[in-house]
Amino acid sequence: MGTARPAHQTDGMKSLLWCVFVLALIINPVINLTLSDGPLQIVLSLVSGLTVLASGTGLWLLRDRGETGAY
């Protein structure tokens, strides 16, 4: 089991992860609509998609589990 962190430490991280998550969600379709097909579009789309997955995973790991600690 990991060590518990004070709430004020995780609140800042959650805010940052939410900002990154939302920005990546907005940027991904913009990239697909504005850039023509090519290697740059593929790379930027992959980076924004991986950013969404990574920040979503971070938010899931930092979620409030309640008093029971249930998953």
DSSP string, 50-61: HHHHHHHHHHHH
pLDDT of residue 6: 63
CA distance 54 to 38: 24
pLDDT of residue 37: 86
- Segment 29-48, tens digit of pLDDT: 999 999 888 999 999 999 99
DSSP string, 31-49: HHHHSPSSHHHHHHHHHHH
| pTM: predicted TM-score of the whole model, two decimal places | 0.75
pLDDT of residue 68: 57
Contacts of residue 17, Cβ cutoff 8 Å, sequence gap at least 6: 55, 58, 59, 62
Quick one: pLDDT band at residue 7, thresholds 50, 70, 90?
low
